[in-house]
A and B are shown apart, each in its own frame.
Chain A
Amino acid sequence: MTAPPPDPSDATPKTLISQGAEALVYRTTFLVPTLPALLKHRPRKTYRHPTLDARLTKHRVLSEARLLVRARGLGIPVPAVYFVDEANGSIFMEWIDGSSVRQVLDAILASPGGEGKVDAMMVRVGEAVGRLHKADIVHGDLTTSNLMVRKVGGVEEQEGGAGEVVLIDFGLGQVSTQEEDKAVDLYVLERAFSSTHPKAEKLFEDVLSAYGRSWKGGKTVLRRLQDVRMRGRKRSMLG
């Protein structure tokens, strides 16, 4: 992948690691060459009016950074924020050394009898989402790619994702006390599980039961999830 660096006068090396719809993500360093960091940069969208573009980018960068700091301050496993440059659309944050839950699942489920090895990881996923919701933060885009597992002692995939589960990418996140929003968060994650890991569909029950145990309002949100499932995205629309 090739993409322009966020700032041409910036000589610090950075490696593009992903290109989403909204942001470019780089591996780089912060302050000193020995401190690894992740740079999430929202480039200018040339299709948008410059005034509107600047307004949206600033709003989203600030909102994402605030959510991350808030979550981290409450002990929820999310990357630490190092520095925010809202005018340029950049956030520097902690580099999480590890793999996504998606990669761990793909690696483990490829081996026979792999399902048994990831139970503990599923529980930690459920607990992490539970703690987020307890704090009235909804993620907005929970997928197995947006859940990381920290590397423990250099090997993660073989160990069944033994490390801490970290929630990343709060670009669509928001503060909400609504059970509906929390249930939709779970529903999105459920769909991500079933579409990306058909073999792991059963494992999602472990996620949900851990979620239900992890905080007081968990059970209510799980009941609400039933409604959301029934409804799905099948809203009829007048033509």
Chain B
Amino acid sequence: MIALGLEGSANKLGVGLIKHTPGQPAEILSNIRHTFVSPPGEGFLPKDTAKHHRSWVVPLIKRALKESGTRVQDIDCICYTKGPGMGAPLQSVAIAARTLSLLWGKPLVGVNHCVGHIEMGREITGADNPVVLYVSGGNTQVIAYAEQRYRIFGEALDIAVGNCLDRFARTLHIPNDPAPGYNIEQLAKRGQHLLDLPYTVKGMDCSFSGILAVVDSLATQLLTSHPKPLLTPSGEPVTKEDLCFSLQETVFAMLVEITERAMAHVGSSQVLVVGGVGCNERLQEMMGLMAAQRGGSVFATDERFCIDNGIMIAHAGLLAYGEGERTPLEGSTCTQRFRTDEVLVRWRK
């Protein structure tokens, strides 16, 4: 069975082609992506992002088919991101999916974006039943599987961790190319001083708005030296690098802590990190140290699968398709809000 997957819930447009053969690992036929990059200091607006997706979806699908040598008649279903995400970009991709479905006469499968990340992470890493940390620009969730659902044990109570990093990058005029989080990570590697920032964890939940407010005002002070130059407690000047380092160390410590609490709660020693922020090597390293202390290990993927992509939508959609799931044309809507635990996971025991 072969599925085409279309993803466009945020600023990445992803197209993937996947092949499932019973008893064998999934085969990635194509996994390509085009990113809408906004100028430094600006976020991506829904309207512009949707326009980007509309103009790129046809060339990308054509390239995916051509590169992989897949013929339209080999495709079993068309999978698209139903949600969660930004409304206009989601709609632009849903329309593309519906059009292809009618044009080619193929069934549609609407996919939960978060479930896509989880299933692709499991497939690539071989992690069997891990606690999942899903961290991206829009989501921060600690998830574990129980009785046909991916259950949310903990989450960010306000803004997502990736959103916190992106907004900080804007204040500090860190470029959005290739991604704000990636650029923060590179700067953080040269950070020397750890500044005292708010650390907010409540059981398995956490909060990032407090730390963003503080680090944002520090960033402004750093750029303007107003009302006075920003210094460490020992009197040395604070650098951009120090701010990135302090922010990363603090928010990642919060993420690792809530993940560890969930692992202790469900009695698991495996952890899988997915989502765009999951690419960060410092986060992966910290998660690995925690898992090792618990006698377990961390599973993570590289940017091909961590960052939003079409292949994960194709993969999760095909798993559901294999269990008989179809999304009828009139039901092929999308939704900005779509919780991970709303999906009935038929394909797992």
Q: Which residues does A use to contact B, with CB under 8 Å?
A: 19-22, 45-49, 51-52, 55-56, 140-141, 172, 233-239
Contact = CB atoms under 8 A, between A and B. Distances in A.
Contacts of B113: 239
A56 B338 contact: no
A239 B139 contact: yes
A52 B253 contact: yes
Contact of A52 (B249, B290, B339): B249
Contacts of B260: 21-22
Contacts of B84: 237-239
A172 B261 CA distance: 12
A169 to B, nearest CB: 12
Contact of B199 (A46, A56, A141, A172): A56
B236 to A, nearest CB: 15
A46 B249 CA distance: 12
Size category of the B interface is 35 or more
A236 B141 CA distance: 12
Given A56-B199, A237-B339, A47 B290 contact: yes
Which 3 A-B pairs give the minimum distances between C-beta atoms? Answer: A239-B84, A21-B264, A239-B85
Contact of B338 (A46, A47, A239): A239
Interface in B69-125: 83-86, 113-114
A186 to B, nearest CB: 15
Main secondary structure of the interface of A (DSSP, over half): loop
Contact of B256 (A47, A235, A237, A239): A47
Interface in B246-299: 249-250, 253, 256-257, 260-261, 263-265, 285-287, 289-290, 293
B138 interface: yes
B51 interface: no
17 contacts: A19-B264, A45-B256, A45-B257, A47-B256, A47-B293, A48-B253, A49-B249, A51-B194, A55-B196, A140-B202, A140-B203, A172-B203, A233-B152, A237-B84, A237-B337, A239-B10, A239-B138
A213 to B, nearest CB: 28
B167 to A, nearest CB: 14
Interface in B157-190: none
Contact of A239 (B152, B265, B293, B336): B336
Contacts of B202: 140, 172
Contacts of B338: 239
Contacts of B249: 48-49, 52
A22 B34 CA distance: 42
A52 B256 CA distance: 13
Nearest to A1: B295
Contact of B261 (A21, A45, A55, A233): A21
Contacts of A172: 202-203
Contacts of B194: 49, 51-52
Interface centre among A46, A48, A236 (most CB of B within 10 A): A48
Nearest to B114: A239
A19 B199 CA distance: 24
B336 A47 contact: no
A95 to B, nearest CB: 23
B289 A141 contact: no
Contacts of B263: 21
B9 interface: yes
Contacts of A239: 9-10, 83-86, 113-114, 138-139, 336-338
B243 to A, nearest CB: 14
Contacts of B242: none
Given A20-B264, A235-B155, 19 more contacts: A21-B257, A21-B261, A46-B289, A48-B253, A52-B194, A52-B199, A56-B253, A141-B203, A234-B339, A237-B155, A238-B138, A238-B336, A238-B337, A239-B84, A239-B85, A239-B86, A239-B113, A239-B336, A239-B337
